[in-house]
Each structure stands twice: as C-alpha cells, then as structure tokens.
C-alpha cells in the first residue's frame, strides 16, 4: 500500500536521541507506581534550573557509556533531529506529525495580516491582540433531519474489493488479480517505524531541561493572563450572556459508558419493575439449563422487592481508590454476574432487550431535558468476527437510536485474557475481528445492511482498560508484528494505539471515497500509568478522556494546549479511583486554555442524581467558583467550523463572544510566538560565516 506520509528511517535518527528516549521509556515504566518520587517530567514551582541541568548531565553521562571511547570524547550536547512529518509552510516544527495533528495545524503565512473580528463581537479589554488564523476540523456527517434512522433503502452497491491484513494493517485491493500481484489501493497510513521514531522524539523532548523550563513558564503566563482577563471582562461577559433569550444550560456528555449510563436508583427501579411484570420469563441459560427471572433470584437467595440502593452495591467509594479490580466488580449488581448478564449486556438469551429498554429510558430523559446529549460507549472485544453483526442487530431490533445520542465503540485492551482462554491465536486475529467486518460493510453494504445503518450513528473508537497495569515489553520499531505476537503477555498501550489508529485511518479514507461517515479515535488516556501513554495519544488521538497525568509534564501540557486536543475530564470518577477531587487539575487546565470539558464516565458508579452531567457541573462550579461562561463552552451553529468568535453563534451556545475572542487570540499569539522563534533560528543558521 503506497504511503503518502513522509517516511523516516533509522539512519536519519540521532543515536543519542534514540537512547535517551529508551531511557525515558524505561524510567517511566519503572517509576509509574512511585507516588512521591521526583518525576523527570515535572518542573517544581520554583523552577531550579541547576537541578535539572545536573540531572541532564548525569543522564547524558550514562548514555555516553554506551558509545565507543571516541564518541565519549565528543561534546555532550543534546541535539534533537526535527521530525520530517510536519511543516508550517516549509518551516519544520519539532515532533508534530502531519498525520496526527492535521486538525489543529494552522496555516501561518508571513504575509498574513490580522483579520478583523466579526461585527457581532463586542469590544472588550484585550491583554494582547494577535489576529486570526484558519485551522481545519475533522467532521463526521450526521444523518439528514427527518430521515428514517433504520431505513435500509438507497444502500451503496458492492465494490467487490478484496481484503487482506498484513502486519496488523488491513490492505484493500481492487480485485483478486491485484491481490495476487500485491498491488493495494492507495489508502494512506503511518507505518510503525515512522510512528516509533516520532514517539522517540517526543519522549526525548519532554525531559529536556530548557524545554521543560520554557513550557512551564509559558503555561504560568497563560494562567496569569486568564486571571487578568477575568478581572477586566468578567462583568462584561455576564452582561452579554444575560442578553441572550431562550438559552439554558446546554452540554454534551462526551465520555459515558453505556453499561453504567443510568443512575443506581434507575437500575434498581428497572430490576423491580421487570420482576413484577415478567417474573416467569426465561432470561438466562446456565449450565445447560434455562432459568426464568424468578428462578435466577431464587438461585441468588434474594427477593427483588427487598433490594435497596445500598444492597445493589454498584456505587464506587473509598474501597475502590487505586483498586481498579474492585471497581470493575461494581458492574455486577449485588455482586452477581448473572444480573449483569441479564440487564447490562447486548448478547444474552433475550438479545439484550432489558439493556436496550434501560438505554431508551435514559435517552428519553435526555430528549425531555432538551439541552443535554450523550455519546455512550458500547463494547467490541475482538474475540469473534460476529460481534459487529450481533451489536448492529441489537441496535436495529430494539430501535435504540435517539436524536440526543451518538455512539462510541470501546475496545478493551484484554488480549491477554482471550489468549489465555485460547479464543485467539495472536494479536493480529484480535485486530481482524475488530476491523475486517467494518471494511466488509464499507465495501459491500448490501451484504451487511444492519451494520451499515448502525455505523451511521457511530462517531468514533475508544481504547479502554486499567492504565495502571503496564506491560514489561518496551514498545519500539523492533516490537513483534501482530502476527508474531503469540505470547500470553498483553501488548503495551502504545502498541494498541498505533494499530487501532492506523486501521481507523485506512478505513476512514475508504469510507470517505464512498461518501460514508468517518470515525474519530478518542482513547482513554492519562488517568493513571505511564506518561508515555499521553505521548502516544498526542500523536494519534482526536480526543482523550481523563488526561490527569498531563500535570506531570509541562512540555506535554503545552503541546496539548497548542494542538487544542480535546480532553473530557471526569473529576467525580477520578475522586473514587485515582485522584482526590481537590487535587484534580481541571480548573488549572481550563485557566491555561486547554480544550477541556466535563463528563460523567459512569453515572451508576459515581453519581447520585438522575441528571449526572448536571451533578458534575454543579459540584465543579461550587468548588472552583466557575462562572456561567466557564460552564458553557462548546461549539454549535451554522458557522461552528470557523475559529474564534466567527464560529460562535451566541444564540445557540450561550458562550460570550468576549470569551471566544480571548481564547482565540491567545492561542494565535502563542503559535505566532513559536513560529517567529523558528524563523529567527533558521535565519541565523542560514547566515554566511
């Protein structure tokens, strides 16, 4: 498959950079569970430059021992080779890959002038004005309004393409002859070697002392600048919002798992109602015997009418802190896996009917609220190629579609479990089960009509599991190919992310050619575990969930700010699992200008009220004294693809134009500052000696 990405080879990579990256990777894996150790990624508040220079000299000294005596005599200077995978109009920008950050890379022309703000933007006191620039945004087209959501008419014809997976990537061929000649269609994707090299560059960058100091100071400047903006313009923003009629609290829950999208009280009421109405219905097959709902509860020695919210035991508390295993058990009502199978699964004896009814009740509440939407996650495990057909049939049969819901597919990182049970032979088989059905439904929708319809309402993919579990394998370009990964050990996080992203990219290019909807990649990342997870996500993700570990690395935090990578944060979830609420960095990220939003994660485990998202916002607003404008930042309206205040329709978003203009100008100022620095450096480098 011809690649349209700049190919980087090992010969272009500085050996010192590679060794430093390996050192960082190993250190991150070793220290990820050490709470009080001084991290090599962080910068203390007093910014002791001498300490970091000493650490850098010590690190370089250790690296030098791996070289020959001749290389050891050379000057020990850190020099990073810039990645060839991205550029700003001929200016090579360090380590940002074009295929990773195309949605946020602005076009900065030397001759560009500051375009004026739209006429409907009110005057306000600016700290700095730097002008407007244009950035691109990926879009997944939505179904037309009024269209039958389950219609199977006008489905595209069969293209009769051939498919083959090699090295964990799906290749598409025009016909059998092209397959025999190994001549695939040109559907671009980043190869493993280029990804591993870019990953090494970013790993080396995040421990460079001067870079950490610079990023730390710029982030502090951004936070201070926001405080000044608030003092100057808070009342003007509030006045602007008061003048908007017929707008209320309007938000989207971008991170919520379908199996826990209901409140614990909602689940309890449903269990009791279902038992009252259908106690004699056959709902479970166990040990070759089919059981009715009454027999299931008799087997569990309990009466549904005696159940309470406390006895249901699905709420996470102090006992789940840093115990992800105990948290997973909370998905089993009263600790019984049988009840989870009956009520919270799509592929059971009753074909997921109870689960569908619960979700439809949740979606009905969202539709009644009028101002709230959600993107629930449904699981595809990769243990069988039939999972997609089963899930799409569940969606169509029970008519689960809602105008207030779009769907995300989550893929748990549990290859090791399937391998130990001999369900799959290697990691490539898991990838085949996840992605080949999607390619087949794209090439021949006539044969997979239900899956074709379901994919209209799928907006992206997620990678989920306990991040605090780390693999002993250190990811690199030398890592085994998926076909060769036959051991029982789980692949590392970066290995999962690369192969998911590469296949999603090929699939998106194919679907775009057919005029079909495309998908984003929005993994869980940075909740716990190694800082290297955030590096992998920076290179691949359109959006991440959690991102707590960004506070450990000023360089990564600054990169996420510059790229405006969306981060869906869930402080109440983190409070029960990994980080106390008072220590959550969401408020800090918001003030610095990172693209953050609040989400619920698992309302059944972490929330008490019927409106979990409102509960999340209410607690954050009270604890951190967030303003109305802080709580309502999102994009919607006819021109929402445009940057800054031009893309903000205050009649729809209830976000002040003043705030939009401030955020846009501040980001443009930072980007201009960096580009000017690169130009100056290149100008100095081109001067004759």
What's the DSSP call for residue 335? G
CB–CB of 30/529 below 8 Å?
no
Cα angle vertex 541, ends 491, 436, to 5°?
60
Between the two ends of the chain, the Cα-to-Cα distance in Å is 45
In angstroms, rounded to a whole number, what is the distance separating the alpha carbons of residues 645 and 329?
A: 46
In angstroms, rounded to a whole number, what is the distance separating the alpha carbons of residues 173 and 1?
A: 9
**Which tokens hold the place of 334?**
């009263």
Q: Which stretches of 187-324 are assigned E, i.e. beta strand?
A: 251-257, 282-286, 289-292
Spatial strand order of the sheet with 596-598 comes to 524-525, 544-546, 567-569, 596-598
CB–CB of 127/228 below 8 Å?
yes
CB–CB of 268/312 below 8 Å?
yes
What's the DSSP call for residue 85? S
Q: Which residues of 354-378 are buried (b: 16+ CB within 10 A; e: fewer)?
A: bbbbbbbebbebbeebeebbbbbbb
**Which tokens hold the place of 327?**
């948290």
Q: Which residues of 83-100 are buried (b: 16+ CB within 10 A; e: fewer)?
A: bbbbebeebbbbbbbbbb
Pairing of strands 282-286, 251-257: unpaired
CB–CB of 18/81 below 8 Å?
no
In angstroms, rounded to a whole number, what is the distance separating the alpha carbons of residues 172 and 507?
A: 10
SS3 for 438-501, per residue? Answer: HHHHHHCCCCCHHHHHHHCCEEEEEEECCCCCCCCCCCCCCCCCHHHCCCCCCCCHHHHHHHHH
Cβ neighbours of 57 (radius 10 Å):
12
In angstroms, rounded to a whole number, what is the distance separating the alpha carbons of residues 434 and 500?
A: 9
CB neighbour list of residue 319: distance below 8 Å, 6 or more residues apart: 326
Strand partners, 376: 256
In angstroms, rounded to a whole number, what is the distance separating the alpha carbons of residues 547 and 586?
A: 9
Pairing of strands 407-412, 544-546: unpaired
- At 309, is the secondary structure helix, strand, or coil? helix
Nearest to 299 by CA among 314, 277, 284, 281: 284
Q: Exactly one of 201, 401, 546, 591 is catalytic; name it.
A: 546
What's the DSSP call for residue 351? T
What's the DSSP call for residue 531? T
Q: Is 546 a catalytic residue?
A: yes
Nearest to 109 by CA among 673, 681, 682, 672: 672
- At 138, is the secondary structure helix, strand, or coil? coil
Q: Tell me how far the alpha carbon of residue 337 is from its chain's centroid.
A: 29
- Give catalytic residue positions: 546
């Amino acid at each position: 498959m011809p690649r349209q990405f700049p190919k980087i080879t090992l010969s272009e990579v500085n050996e010192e950079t590679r060794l430093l990256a390996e050192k960082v990777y190993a250190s991150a894996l070793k220290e990820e569970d050490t709470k009080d150790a001084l991290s090599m990624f962080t910068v203390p508040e007093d910014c002791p430059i001498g300490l970091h220079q000493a650490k850098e000299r010590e690190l370089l000294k250790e690296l030098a021992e791996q070289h020959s005596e001749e290389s050891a005599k050379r000057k020990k200077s850190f020099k990073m080779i810039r990645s060839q995978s991205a550029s700003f109009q001929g200016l090579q920008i360090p380590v940002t890959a074009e295929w990773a950050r195309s949605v946020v890379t602005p076009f900065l022309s030397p001759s560009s002038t500051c375009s004026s703000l739209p006429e409907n933007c009110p005057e306000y006191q600016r700290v700095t004005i730097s002008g407007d620039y244009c950035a691109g945004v990926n879009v997944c087209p939505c179904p037309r309004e009024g269209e039958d959501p389950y219609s199977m008419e006008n489905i595209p014809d069969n293209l009769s393409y051939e498919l083959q997976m090699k090295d964990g990537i799906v290749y598409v061929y025009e016909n059998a002859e092209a397959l025999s000649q190994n001549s695939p269609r040109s559907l671009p994707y980043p190869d493993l070697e280029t990804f591993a090299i870019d990953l090494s560059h970013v790993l080396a960058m995040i421990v460079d002392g001067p870079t950490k100091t610079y990023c730390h100071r710029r982030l502090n400047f951004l936070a201070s600048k926001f405080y000044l903006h608030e003092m100057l313009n808070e009342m003007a923003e509030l006045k602007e919002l008061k003048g908007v009629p017929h707008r209320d609290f309007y938000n989207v829950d971008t991170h919520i798992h379908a199996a826990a999208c209901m409140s614990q009280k909602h689940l309890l009421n449903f269990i009791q109602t279902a038992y009252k109405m259908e106690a004699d219905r056959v709902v479970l097959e166990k040990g070759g015997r089919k059981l009715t709902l009454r027999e299931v509860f008799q087997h569990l020695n309990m009466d549904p009418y005696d159940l309470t919210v406390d006895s249901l035991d699905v709420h996470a508390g102090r006992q789940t802190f840093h115990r992800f295993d105990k948290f997973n058990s909370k998905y089993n009502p009263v600790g019984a896996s049988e009840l989870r199978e009956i009520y919270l699964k799509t592929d059971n004896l009753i074909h997921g009917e109870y689960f569908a009814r619960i979700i439809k009740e949740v979606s009905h509440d969202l539709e009644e609220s009028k101002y709230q939407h959600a993107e629930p996650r449904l699981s595809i495990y990769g243990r069988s190629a039939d999972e997609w057909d089963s899930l799409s049939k569940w969606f169509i049969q029970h008519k689960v579609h809602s105008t207030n819901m779009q769907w995300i597919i989550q893929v748990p990182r549990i290859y090791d479990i399937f391998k130990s049970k001999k369900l799959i032979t290697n990691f490539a088989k898991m990838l085949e089960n996840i992605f080949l059905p999607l390619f087949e439904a794209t090439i021949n929708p006539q044969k997979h009509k239900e899956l074709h319809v379901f994919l209209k309402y799928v907006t992206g993919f997620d990678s989920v599991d306990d991040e605090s579990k780390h693999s002993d394998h250190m990811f690199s370009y030398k890592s085994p190919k998926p076909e060769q990964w036959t051991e029982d050990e789980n692949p590392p996080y970066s290995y999962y992310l690369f192969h998911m992203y590469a296949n999603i990219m090929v699939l998106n290019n194919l679907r775009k050619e057919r005029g079909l909807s495309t998908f984003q990649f929005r993994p869980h990342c940075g909740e716990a575990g190694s800082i290297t997870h955030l590096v992998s996500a920076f290179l691949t993700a359109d959006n991440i969930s959690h991102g707590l570990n960004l506070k450990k690395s000023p360089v990564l935090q600054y990169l996420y700010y510059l790229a405006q990578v969306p981060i869906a944060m869930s402080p109440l979830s983190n409070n029960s699992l990994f980080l106390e609420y008072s220590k959550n960095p969401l408020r800090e990220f918001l003030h610095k200008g990172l693209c953050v939003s609040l989400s619920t994660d698992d309302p059944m485990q972490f929330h008490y009220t019927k409106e979990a998202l409102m509960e999340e916002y209410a607690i954050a607003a009270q604890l951190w004294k967030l303003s109305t404008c802080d709580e309502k930042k999102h994009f919607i309206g006819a021109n929402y693809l445009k940057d800054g205040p031009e893309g903000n329709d205050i009649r729809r978003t209830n976000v002040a134009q003043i705030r939009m203009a401030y955020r846009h100008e501040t980001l443009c100022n930072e980007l201009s500052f960096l580009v000017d620095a690169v130009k100056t450096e290149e100008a100095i480098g081109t001067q004759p000696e």
